[in-house]
Amino acid sequence: MHTVRSLADYVGGTVVGGSADIPITGINDLRAAQPDQISFLGNTKYEPLARVSKAGAILVSPADSPKFSFTRIEVESPSFAFGKISALFASPPVHDEPGIHPTAIVAPDAVIGEGASIGPCAIISAGVQIGARTVIGAHCFIGERTIIGADVRIYPLVTIRERSVLGTRIIIHSGAVIGADGFGYSFDSKTGRHVKIDHTGYVQIDDDVEIGANTTIDRGRFGRTYVGEGAKIDNLVMIAHNVTIGPHCIIVAQTGISGSTTLGRYVTLAGQVGVAGHLTIGDRATVTAQSGITKDAPGGTVYSGLHLMPTREYLKKEALIRRLPELLERLKALEDKVKSLE
């Protein structure tokens, strides 16, 4: 059985206030937590909920801890610590029986690694290589000559097109499409038609990447579209042909990245960011939600707005825009005063 003390020891935290011997049997959010559950305060706007929460203990930062009197565990990152504790109470992982389901279609020359699992109605095309202990879910399609490393989990209804190259410990959620043709056409003025450009490249995804549901990553027009080690890509993200995503980037839902753009290491693109093509975004740049990137963005800066600029500058301009009605009234008053003096 877990207690507040044992959980504090587990995450390297310190128990403050109340009793360290309270038994903890589960986790919950601040609003719903019960006396035998633990929660966390990761954002100061939820302080009112923390004050009235019934949780047996709450993970808080050392800076926030003095504000409260309830039983709490002080940790540098309450969110990260809560994630570790969550694993202790998680349901057992789904067991995937090694082997090939009778309804799966596997090409005779496909190589299936030891302990791999091929689910119902999955299709494994010619020349495919699948690593040890990798799980291919029901109704997945793996195209010709695709290489998938060990310990990969591909959830049901994922499509991975031909010649894709995937590393190890990758997670791909349902509905994702890897390696579709890029959106490339040339206009033929003689016929008045858009003529499709063949995309002969491929997609490469390195180790420890996670790709969300219904995300699409297009193959290169030539060469590769590349996702670096440890990148985490949310649901409903569009990555176009020949894009390079550097290691450990975070790309949040409904973001779209146009062709041949390069992201450096540890770049964060928040939700609904739009990125034009053939751009470079430097290491550790952060782009806030609903921003538009139409020019190169040096690293180490937080950017905002439809016409990308450092966030501090953007906020100043937004503040001035809000004051325009007031400034207009003042201008009119000055004009009237000048007229009265004429």
What's the average pLDDT block by block, 10 residues per block, for the chain (342 residues)? 95 93 95 96 94 96 94 96 95 88 98 98 98 98 98 98 98 98 93 94 98 98 96 98 98 97 98 96 96 92 80 75 80 80 73
The rounded distance, in Å, linking the Cα atoms of 19 and 30 is: 19
Return the CATH fold of 2-89. 3.40.1390
pTM: 0.85
Residue 108 tokens read as: 């005779």
Sheet containing strand 57-60, edge to edge, reads: 14-16, 72-74, 57-60, 37-40, 26-27
Which pLDDT belongs to residue 173?
98
272 burial level (CB within 10 Å; 0-12, 13-18, 19+): middle
Question: Residue 332 corresponds to which amino acid?
Answer: K
Which pLDDT belongs to residue 323?
78
* Domain 99-313 superfamily per CATH: Hexapeptide repeat proteins (2.160.10.10)
Beta bridge partners of 210: 171, 232
Which pLDDT belongs to residue 316?
77
- Catalytic residue IDs: 241
Computed on alpha carbons and rounded to an integer, the radius of gyration of the chain in Å comes to 26
Contacts of 273 (CB under 8 A, 6+ apart): 252, 255, 256, 287, 288, 289, 290, 291, 292, 293
What residue segments make up the domains of the chain, in order of their start?
2-89, 99-313
The rounded distance, in Å, linking the Cα atoms of 118 and 226 is: 26
Which pLDDT belongs to residue 340?
78
Question: Residue 196 corresponds to which amino acid?
Answer: K
Which pLDDT belongs to residue 152?
98
